[in-house]
């Protein structure tokens, strides 16, 4: 039996630092990745199959966010918020989303908030991207 693995348009990668710091963030991110792909699909983001926007979310700590500008080069980066940097290459968007110290404390104190909080934060970023691409909000 041949199993076909197709890359989904939205991928979420969590930095090792956050995996070590925030319990369950990897499994929560995996579930969220599936949800966000489903929501963008039902919002008809992928109707033009020849031109599908691929979005890589990189969940990182705020200190790692400062390093992104040095690696990618600040010229190519666009700041969508204090904790969100966007790097676009054609139909590929690399979106670096930092968990701020205040967010870390909140999640540490109330771990049950992690899933809903990440979902809201990434949905907000996707809707900013939707505005730029003239897509329907999710």
Residues spanned by the domain of 75: 10-127
Q: What pLDDT, on a 0 to 100 scale, did the predictor assign at position 96?
A: 96
User: Does the residue 98 lie in any domain?
Assistant: yes
pLDDT tens digits in sequence order for the chain, 138 residues long: 555 567 899 999 999 999 999 999 999 999 999 999 999 999 999 998 888 999 999 999 999 998 887 776 666 788 999 999 999 888 899 999 999 999 999 999 999 999 999 999 999 999 999 999 999 999
Cβ-based neighbours of 59, under 8 Å, separated by 6 or more = 12, 13, 14, 15, 18, 25, 29, 97, 98, 99, 118
User: Does the residue 97 lie in any domain?
Assistant: yes
User: Does the residue 102 lie in any domain?
Assistant: yes
User: Does the residue 79 lie in any domain?
Assistant: yes
Beta strands at 10-14 and 54-61: parallel, antiparallel or unpaired: parallel
User: Does the residue 117 lie in any domain?
Assistant: yes
User: Does the residue 2 lie in any domain?
Assistant: no
Q: What is the pTM of this model?
A: 0.91
Q: What angle do CA 66, 71, 77 make, to 5 degrees?
A: 70
User: Does the residue 136 lie in any domain?
Assistant: no
Domain count, the chain: 1
Contact between residue 121 and residue 114 where contact means Cβ atoms under 8 Å apart = no
User: Does the residue 3 lie in any domain?
Assistant: no
């Amino acid at each position: 039996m041949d199993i076909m693995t197709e890359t989904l348009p939205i991928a979420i990668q969590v930095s090792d630092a956050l995996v070590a710091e925030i319990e369950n963030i990897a499994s929560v991110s995996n579930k969220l990745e599936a949800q966000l792909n489903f929501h963008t699909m039902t919002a008809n983001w992928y109707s033009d199959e020849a031109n599908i926007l691929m979005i890589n979310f990189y969940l990182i700590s705020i200190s790692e966010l400062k390093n992104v500008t040095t690696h990618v080069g600040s010229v190519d980066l666009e700041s969508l918020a204090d904790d969100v940097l966007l790097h676009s290459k054609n139909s590929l968007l690399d979106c670096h989303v930092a968990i701020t110290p205040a967010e870390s404390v909140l999640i540490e104190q109330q771990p049950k908030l992690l899933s809903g909080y990440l979902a809201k934060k990434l949905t907000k970023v996707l809707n900013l991207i939707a505005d730029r691409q003239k897509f329907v909000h999710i």
